[in-house]
Chain A
Amino acid sequence: MKTRFTKLAALVGTLALLAGLAACGSDDSADADKDRTLTVFAAASLKGTFTELAKEFEDANEGVEVKLSFGGSSDLAAQINEGAPADVFASADERTMALVVDEDGTAKDPVIFATNVLEIATPVDNPAKVKSLEDLSNPEVKVVLCAPQVPCGAASQELLKKVGVTVKPVSEEQSVTDVLGKVTSGEADAGLVYVTDVISAGDTVTGIEIPEANEVVNAYPIAPLAKASDADLAQAFVDLITGSKGKDVFTKAGFGTP
């Protein structure tokens, strides 16, 4: 019995020590190489573009490390308001940015750096032979949309209303990623996602453009945060995003630029 207890105590102790070392270790290496860190919270749909631009920023600025944190915009806004340490926030819509602005979290007014419009995505073979937004109202077609509470969902509802099409979706997903997932696996016949999502999904989906798409534009704002430890560095990053280099990257990905 005594040896068993000692073994257990030793195991727990070792795990705790390892955890402690790991934590120390990562900090040490970071401090050793870099003098300055910039923490950027960005919407999930900005992953590809922001990762590329963050690298550019690091190359251009000696000794700076950009830490990117991607997630759902409202999750990120909530975390920022609850005190998460971030220097810059880029969200997928103006409503979630407003959540942070209302709490006086931003150092400057937000600036729109990219726009996105909706597109229909179907499985590669397009089994339901969808050609237009109107086809989605066909009850035989299994349509998946974002839930109205999330930005892409709100945009989808608005667009459908504008075009005058009623859709009864089989599921309202938490995020665009989930919608795309259901489409690529063939569970759904069609879904409404962003143009950028269709492009990044490559040949796993077929995209069908919507003529009226430009009537509902999703605008992506970015702002440096009041609690940023280095206000100049934060602003520099915002400038990169809103500058010409940023515009190139976003356009390539399928975003619109203001």
Chain B
Amino acid sequence: MSINQVDLPRWTMIPAVAGLAFVILPLVAMVLRVDWGDFGSLVTSESSLAALSLSLRTASMSTAICVLIGVPMALFLARSSSRLVDVVRPFILLPLVLPPVVGGIALLYTFGRRGLLGQHLEVLGIQIAFSTAAVVIAQTFVALPFLVVSLEGALRGTDPGYSRVAATLGANPSRVLTKVTLPLVWPGLVAGTVLSFARALGEFGATITFAGSLQGVTRTLPPEIYLQRETDPQAAIALSLLLVMVAVVVIAVVRRPGRNPW
């Protein structure tokens, strides 16, 4: 027995398949160009491994920060009845719209040596520019809206009745949040986290503008790929595929199909 879908007209197959092809074909083109014999040595070179390790570490840290500050932000956007929220919302989406390089420049003017905050931090002996911290800041900046938007949507879609009943049963607001509200929006939270991770992993423009590019410190996979293109296009393709594989693995692990969301 299977369900008959009543809002899936036949003609939607065409644009859907076209869209799928649009996304998959460039990947296939890359796979066909790679010299598979050299693939192993190309992705395990010293610079490649340094870049991969740095990418994974910084993207994980950025995603964690996105969750820590993004969840409260999403809660405010979804629950607050204040008019301020409508004013603030477009700004939260700003990093989505800004070209990453522009984002990097903005971060530079804020946290750079002569930046708005940076100059004061400099006096205290804290230097952010050219550090791994700068990479994490850049990635967090561009990835945050993904988490906030996904989660806010999910929060608005839940029945507030569950939280209310939990309160009457003796759960204080922190408990209601962690034991009821968040478990109810878990799929949305997971989706937002995966999107943020993927975005952070692929971040390039803001990173090189704000953090610079130095092996092991600030040169994540995307800048490494870009640099390799100058001298060794094969290495660039190999590393690109490596990045794709990492993203695919993360997404597959986190979103195991068929799992009952509850």
Residues of A within 8 A of B (CB): 72, 74-75, 78, 142, 144, 147, 149-150, 169-174, 178, 181-182, 185-187
Contact = CB atoms under 8 A, between A and B. Distances in A.
Contact of B229 (A74, A142, A144, A169): A74
A174 B130 contact: no
Nearest to A181: B209
A78 B108 contact: no
Interface residues of B, number: 23
A220 to B, nearest CB: 17
Contacts of B114: 185-187
Contacts of B129: 170, 187
Contacts of A174: 208, 213, 223, 226-227
A78 B227 CA distance: 14
Contacts of A144: 212
Contacts of A78: 229, 233
A149 B130 CA distance: 20
Nearest to B129: A187
B228 interface: yes
A96 to B, nearest CB: 9
Q: Which of A78, A171, A181 has the most CB of B within 10 A?
A: A171
B226 A187 contact: no
Contacts of B227: 147, 149-150, 174
A150 B230 contact: yes
Minimum-distance CB pairs A-B, first 9: A171-B212, A170-B130, A149-B230, A186-B114, A149-B231, A74-B230, A187-B129, A171-B214, A149-B227
Contacts of A72: 230
A85 to B, nearest CB: 21
B193 interface: no
B181 interface: no
A142 B108 CA distance: 16
B231 A170 contact: no
A240 B213 CA distance: 38
A186 B113 contact: yes
22 contacts: A74-B229, A78-B233, A144-B212, A147-B213, A147-B227, A150-B230, A169-B214, A170-B212, A170-B214, A171-B130, A171-B212, A173-B213, A174-B208, A174-B213, A174-B226, A185-B114, A186-B113, A187-B108, A187-B114, A187-B129, A187-B130, A187-B212
B218 interface: yes
Given A171-B212, A172-B213, A185 B108 contact: yes
Nearest to B231: A149
A171 B227 CA distance: 13
B208 A173 contact: yes
Nearest to A95: B231
Contacts of B231: 74, 149
Interface string B199-240: 000000000110111110011000100111111010000000
B230 A187 contact: no
A182 B226 contact: no
Nearest to B118: A187
A148 B233 CA distance: 15
Contact of B112 (A171, A172, A187): A187
A105 to B, nearest CB: 16
A190 to B, nearest CB: 13
A173 B226 contact: no
Contacts of B233: 78
A182 B212 CA distance: 9
B8 to A, nearest CB: 16
B130 A142 contact: yes
